[in-house]
Chains A and B, each alone.
Chain A
Amino acid sequence: MEEQLAIQQTKTKNAGEMLVVNHLYKSFGSNAVLIDFNLTLGKGENLVVLGKSGSGKSVLIKCIIGLLEPDKGTIEMFGNNIPDLNHEELDKIRAKVGFLFQSNALYDSMTVRQNLEFPLRRHWIQVMQQEVDKLVQEALSDVGLAHTVNMMPAELSGGMRKRIALARTLILKPDIILYDEPTTGLDPVTGKEIIQLIVAIQKKYKSSSLIISHDMNCVRLAADRVVVLIDGRCYAEGTYEALRKSNDPKVKQFFE
């Protein structure tokens, strides 16, 4: 009874929040990656999780989308606890969540059009070709690459591939977009363009974004709020400016 009451209170408290991660634990063998990690993502918010390489940021985002199963803890999205869902239920949730992979993960054997159509065809089985064409064009226009529709991923530059991957993420018009290191492997100029694109897209679609990054430019330009992930825990939280002024040596090291 007490447990039910606690869940009810959590739900009430979290009203208006798109994603709530509570007391999350994840380890690989004896290596504990996430230890009692907590996080909330508000509606229309750009939240950046900042951490060093190997700190468990990608593990966190993969637990959130259900690619990894946490050892303990809850991940509430749209009123569902992700680890409790079966495959079909998880697919319904994933239709409302976009995921931009660190490596872009474009399908090499498919054209740009087929890459973009893939999630549409899988989630919306009955969709008409005319509507598909319109959505593909719209998503490509949003990232400024409408002319690449019939090209293969191998023909594109790193920045273009990132934009196409972003277009594929946007095509289902998700309520939440998860970005895994969106600027990794890009030069500073292209990286900045991608960050500006992420911010513009968030404003256009009013989606909530969870951005995993160690790039301070990304944090500065994109974050409404920053969570610092150190030793598997949420070490500090606040706006970019507030954290920049922090005297904590572990937080300070990111801004030096």
Chain B
Amino acid sequence: MALPVKTTQFLQQTGGISAFAGRFFKEAFKPRYEVAEFVRQCFVIGYKSLPLIGLTGFIMGLVLTMQLRPSLIEYGVESQLPAMVGIAIVREIGPVITALIFAGKIGSSIGAELGSMKVTEQIDAMEVSGTNPFKYLVVTRVLASTLMLPILVMLSDAISLYGSYLGVNIRGVTSFHLFYTQVFDSLEFGDVLPAFIKSFFFGFAVGIIGCYKGYFSNKGTEGVGQSANSAVVVSSIMIFVIDLVAVQITDVFNLN
């Protein structure tokens, strides 16, 4: 009995992405290393994402604080607001929201850029010019997104906490020192490390899926749009799947 079409497509895509990731590890460690392009991609993927990540991080911290305050007042634990926001942002909300925004910005741009290069034969032109396009385009982008996302997550966390500090001070007065002392007193190594490690996996997923979708784009310009769109959808789903797995692993090792 034949499998339903959707199931076949899902399995084909999963197999395709796995093989693509396998090829990434094979090619990443072999010379020639595309250092200049990797640095350029770090600038494009990391530095140029800073304003968006910073703004969303700030709003996230501010809104979370304002939304939590009434509930905490109701239970008489308003003083725990910095600790609660700190743990929520560092452990879960910071990495996941930043990764989702990163997927929207970087995943779609990688998918569209490589898709457009594919349909306009630029990838073939690169190969004819003595360049391994997989190394030049895919390895550099996946490495850059894997390394840049954890840095962006840390910056986003810091900005979120600052937003939260401002949020606390909208309806009350708390000193900067007191706020941060409460945040860091409540945080442990086991809160920071798993969140930091899973950010690498989020970055890798966004990079590899964006590249896969773009690299195998077809159907002309329509295909470019589809590549960008499905790069965001699939990498967003992957972020939640990785997050779920990360939580289970963290539980097993009693890191929380």
Contacts and interface: CB of A to CB of B under 8 A. Distances in A.
Interface of A: 62, 65, 67, 87, 91, 94-95, 97, 99, 101-109, 118-119, 122-123
Interface string B116-130: 110011101111111
Given A94-B130, A95-B130, 14 more contacts: A65-B128, A67-B124, A67-B127, A87-B132, A94-B128, A103-B120, A104-B120, A105-B122, A107-B117, A107-B125, A107-B126, A108-B122, A118-B131, A119-B130
A122 B122 contact: no
A99 B128 contact: yes
A108 B116 contact: yes
11 contacts: A67-B124, A94-B128, A94-B130, A95-B130, A103-B120, A104-B120, A107-B122, A108-B116, A119-B128, A122-B131, A123-B130
A105 B119 CA distance: 9
A102 B129 contact: no
A105 B117 CA distance: 8
Contacts of A87: 132
B131 to A, nearest CB: 5
Contacts of B116: 108
Interface string B167-192: 00000000000000000000000000
Highest count of chain A CB atoms <10 Å: which of B122, B128, B131: B128
A122 B124 contact: no
A38 B45 CA distance: 48
B121 A101 contact: yes
Nearest to B127: A67
Interface residues of B, number: 15
Contacts of B117: 107-108
Interface string B121-155: 11011111111100000000000000000000000
Contacts of B131: 118, 122
B130 A101 contact: no
A119 B129 contact: yes
Contacts of A109: 113
Contact of B129 (A104, A108, A123): A123
Closest 5 CB pairs of A and B: A105-B125, A119-B129, A122-B130, A105-B121, A91-B130
A109 B121 CA distance: 14
Contacts of A99: 125, 128
Nearest to A92: B130
A243 B116 CA distance: 40
A103 B130 CA distance: 19
A28 to B, nearest CB: 13
Count chain A CB atoms within 10 A of each CB in B116, B125, B132 and give the residue with the most: B125
B42 to A, nearest CB: 16
Contacts of B128: 65, 67, 94, 97, 99, 119
A195 B124 CA distance: 23
A168 B91 CA distance: 51
A102 B121 contact: yes
A104 B117 CA distance: 12
A101 B129 contact: no
Nearest to A107: B122
A105 B122 CA distance: 5
A181 to B, nearest CB: 11
Contacts of A105: 120-122, 124-125
Nearest to B119: A103
A164 to B, nearest CB: 12
A99 B129 CA distance: 9
Interface string B89-124: 000000000000000000000000100110011101
B112 to A, nearest CB: 11
Contacts of B126: 107, 118
B48 to A, nearest CB: 13
A54 to B, nearest CB: 16
Contact of B121 (A95, A97, A103, A119): A103
B136 to A, nearest CB: 9
A91 B113 CA distance: 25
A104 B121 CA distance: 8
Nearest to B32: A125
A94 B125 CA distance: 11
B44 to A, nearest CB: 10
A62 B122 CA distance: 14
